[in-house]
Structure 1
Amino acid sequence: METGTRVDIHRHAAECPACRALLVAAVRSEGVPSDAPLESSWLGGRMQVLGGSWKPPTEVDEFRLVRLLGRGGMGAVYLAHDTSLDRHVALKLSIALQPDTHTLESFAVEARAIARIKHPNVVTVFRAGEVQGRPYLVYEYVDGKSLAELRLPLPWRYVLDIAVGLARGLCAAHQRGVLHRDLKPGNAILDTDGTVKLLDFGLAAFVEAELRMPRAAPGVAGTPRYLAPELWSGAEATPQSDLYALGLLLYELCTGGLPRTPGPLSRMPGALEPLGRCGALVERVPGMDPEFAQAIERCLAEDPQQRFTRAEVLCGVLERLRAPGADPAFAAPRPEHGARPWGAQNML
């Protein structure tokens, strides 16, 4: 399929709910993971990988590739040795034989977005470069696991700890005028010291950082299972749509599953039950702090106006709940990380 044809498909799908539903159904029927981003690795990168891939050199500038950590439609992530500073880094690069415009744009967007944020709960990017006409990004190497690799459900107190870190990272992004647009368990990494970091900003959108309420961003992007309901109707992405995805992520960590979300996925076989039929979180998670449950459910309000107005507000609520003395029995054992290194395939 020609690049221009893929662009036309994306443009039409962004404006046509029926075609978006068919697109998701095609992804399901072809065995593509249901958590694959709608506008990143499927239409563009997947077809490129089927047609063959480019093998990178063993050295990319001052970075010596050690081993492959993961690969996907958009590219591959390698553990690399930074010979100039003598440290391990994660190097992500495009391995398509002929990178298309979408791939090149995604790498550029991700580099600009992460460089703009600079926060402990967002993975750090050290450098952006090019090798043999293909873009690459160099990140800090995080020795941990993605949230998608953890055994669920997690103790709610531990989820609250994770939630504070994710909310802080998202707050920092929004304050710098960046919408993530693809929040999900696979796009958050848990370091061995317990720090959670957001990653994969390849679908990010930029808005005016100086505005108290950033303008909505154009275009439909994200992972179908985690899209806010208004996005299925063609509405533009906003901070509230990021908060909806964060609410789904936290709900999944607490319960081990997702409620059915409005939109085409809700009508597909095997879809989970709507939130109302599943019961309130306090019913599904015995002993859960009701204020924490209410905060998650507020993020999941179908009407964006009923969600938190800003990530800062959610962050304040979560930090108060986690404050010393808020719950004397807060301390909870952390799930073991295991020997497997971080989920680098989720950066793709």
Structure 2
Amino acid sequence: MTHEANDWRPGAEIDGFTLGARVGAGGMGALFRVTKPGIERPLIMKLPRLGPDEPGETIVGFETEAMILPTLKGPHVPAFVAAGDLAGTPYLVTEWIEGRTLEDLLGAGPLDTADVARIGAALADALHAVHQQGVIHLDVKPGNAILRADGTVVLIDFGFAHHAQYPDLLAEETRYRAGSAPYVSPEQLLGTRSDRRSDLFALGVVLYELATGELPFGEPDTDVRNRLWLDPVPPSALAPGAPPWLQEIILRSLEPRAELRYQSAAHVAFDLRHPDQVALSARATKARRAGLVAQLRRFLRARAEHGARLRAPPALLSRTPTVLVAVDTTHLDDERHQAIRLVVSQILALSTELRLICLTVIAHSEASREHLVKLRDWAAPLGMASQRLSLHAVASSSPEDVIVELAHHNNVDLVVVGAPPQGGRAWSQSVASTVTARARCSVHVVRVNAARG
């Protein structure tokens, strides 16, 4: 009889192991401290959930970890002890690692530069060690890295891992092949599981998080593919104390194209330990994201290179990109509208495929026809073919709601909106602020003095 993970209680025995305290549980199963006569060191047992209603990810992940973990040696992985077969009681026993996860460390907020470099180098050492043994982790994140008291980092949870010499059980499981969304690399999203530089991208995400307390791409629960083209806010903009050499290391690790990243975890570790040796590029002094035109070029290149390879739902890269621009037709003499049109014209110049939605939000008492005419006149200098342009005048007292909903329902990739005028309402109360916070796509805010983006 096969038991479920939740059926087990302290004191029960499995193949000679006695269950002690339950020390954790997650979507995959339960964790127990265990003991066994003849084994002195502390142990932990993972019991996966394998019921009929559990996702296939759990089974494949357990099989993957049970296959790969026994092949790994050294101080950067938990020592394998035993495993139970799926035909009986599936379990995995390893040594218990004393220490704190990097996730625990982040609970106190961003770390200072010295600690980021020290811990980051230790994590890079761990990745290099498993890479040297033919394994790519593919789910590197703070919760899967334990910092020992001696400063060594131990990697845990190899359920998404790839071994160069073993069958890849996840290769055909397109739903499960990528790891945790905030840390997954662009190439993983496209189905690649055999590139160790994917772990270096995730390492860059962890370094960014340690230095700033934020995630470079947020916590996406839907479309994570924008990292194929969208660069993160530079760390120094969020953590002013971050030195140029650290920003260089982080942003190089986060390059969407693997060939532009570090090529070895050992190189990352070296640079983190020898900041005076870091070769600085324009990344080091970057104060903000790339301009809108540069981002759109990246987007179109990514779409051209990868659109046909996407196996996930096509939301962003496998269809004609759509831009929504919000225009206040009640105040067309506002100088911001010329700046917005200039930005839109720069975007349109990048591709003949772009579709443009022009939106104005009006009062319920106003006639939409008059504003549609004004909107058409505003868009006329752009010279767009009618089949690529749509005009919308929507009556509402909440323009931010209209913008966000229209963008969502039309699968918009980019919203262009004007910043609040100088001397107007505070940013936190502005339409632009609300749209930026709520929109599921990228948002470009146009300021008059930044119109050349």
State the secondary structure of the residue aligned to 2:121: helix
Pairwise CA distance, 1:233? 3.8
Aligned to 2:104: 149
State the distance in 2 between where 1:92 and 1:302 align: 34
Pairwise CA distance, 1:244? 0.5
TM-score norm. by structure 1 comes to 0.65
Aligned to 2:269: 315
Aligned to 1:107: 62
State the secondary structure of the residue aligned to 2:242: coil
Work out whether 1:55 is the aligned partner of 2:13.
Answer: no
Q: Which amino acid aligns with 2:80?
A: V
State the secondary structure of the residue aligned to 1:134: coil
- What is the root-mean-square deviation of aligned Cα atoms in Å? 3.3
Work out whether 1:81 is the aligned partner of 2:35.
Answer: yes
Q: Is the 8 A contact 1:94 1:134 kept in 2?
A: no
Q: Is the 8 A contact 1:117 1:172 kept in 2?
A: no
Q: Which amino acid aligns with 2:119?
A: I
- Which runs of structure 2 are paired with 1:32-43 in the superposition (5 Å)? none
When Rg is computed on C-alpha atoms for both structures, the one with the higher figure is 2
Unaligned runs of 5+ in 2: 278-453
> What are the Cα deviations for residues 27-71 of structure 1, in whole angstroms up to 9, with x where unaligned?
xxxxxxxxxxxxxxxxxxxxx98xx94336711223211110111
Aligned to 1:125: 80
Aligned to 1:343: none
Q: Which amino acid aligns with 2:262?
A: F
- Which runs of structure 2 are paired with 1:19-38 in the superposition (5 Å)? none
Unaligned runs of 5+ in 1: 1-47, 210-216, 324-348
The structure showing larger relative contact order (alpha-carbon pairs under 8 Å, at least 6 residues apart) is: 1
State the distance in 2 between where 1:267 and 1:145 align: 31
Specify whether residues 227 and 90 from structure 1 end up closer, same or farther in structure 2 by C-alpha distance, changes over 3 A only: same
State the secondary structure of the residue aligned to 2:118: helix
Aligned to 1:12: none
Work out whether 1:207 is the aligned partner of 2:156.
Answer: no
- Which runs of structure 2 are paired with 1:1-348 in the superposition (5 Å)? 53-55=6-8, 58-97=12-51, 102-130=57-85, 133-150=88-105, 151-207=108-164, 219=174, 220-260=177-217, 264-265=222-223, 275-276=231-232, 278=233, 280-321=234-275
State the distance in 2 between where 1:230 and 1:131 align: 31
Q: Which amino acid aligns with 2:260?
A: Q
Q: Is the 8 A contact 1:91 1:137 kept in 2?
A: yes
Pairwise CA distance, 1:142? 1.8
Corresponding residue pairs, total: 261
Pairwise CA distance, 1:137? 1.1
Specify whether residues 293 and 122 from structure 1 end up closer, same or farther in structure 2 by C-alpha distance, changes over 3 A only: farther
Q: Is the 8 A contact 1:114 1:201 kept in 2?
A: yes
Q: Is the 8 A contact 1:119 1:169 kept in 2?
A: no
Q: Percent identity?
A: 35
Aligned to 1:39: none
State the distance in 2 between where 1:237 and 1:132 align: 29
Deviates more, 1:258-267 or 1:84-93: 258-267
Aligned to 1:330: none
TM-score norm. by structure 2 comes to 0.51
Specify whether residues 118 and 235 from structure 1 end up closer, same or farther in structure 2 by C-alpha distance, changes over 3 A only: closer
Q: Is the 8 A contact 1:181 1:242 kept in 2?
A: yes
Aligned to 1:26: none
Deviates more, 1:248-257 or 1:221-230: 221-230
Q: Is the 8 A contact 2:41 2:95 kept in 1?
A: no
Pairwise CA distance, 1:298? 0.6
Specify whether residues 105 and 131 from structure 1 end up closer, same or farther in structure 2 by C-alpha distance, changes over 3 A only: closer
> What are the Cα deviations for residues 164-191 of structure 1, in whole angstroms up to 9, with x where unaligned?
1111111111121111111111111122
State the secondary structure of the residue aligned to 2:199: helix
Specify whether residues 111 and 236 from structure 1 end up closer, same or farther in structure 2 by C-alpha distance, changes over 3 A only: closer
> What are the Cα deviations for residues 257-316 of structure 1, in whole angstroms up to 9, with x where unaligned?
012279854699xx9xx645x3x3344434434323211111101111100122232233
State the distance in 1 between where 2:178 and 2:206 align: 17
Q: Is the 8 A contact 1:62 1:84 kept in 2?
A: no
Pairwise CA distance, 1:130? 4.1
State the distance in 2 between where 1:260 and 1:164 align: 22
Specify whether residues 251 and 86 from structure 1 end up closer, same or farther in structure 2 by C-alpha distance, changes over 3 A only: same
Specify whether residues 257 and 100 from structure 1 end up closer, same or farther in structure 2 by C-alpha distance, changes over 3 A only: closer
Specify whether residues 282 and 118 from structure 1 end up closer, same or farther in structure 2 by C-alpha distance, changes over 3 A only: same
Q: Which amino acid aligns with 1:113?
A: I
Specify whether residues 321 and 135 from structure 1 end up closer, same or farther in structure 2 by C-alpha distance, changes over 3 A only: farther
Specify whether residues 119 and 289 from structure 1 end up closer, same or farther in structure 2 by C-alpha distance, changes over 3 A only: farther
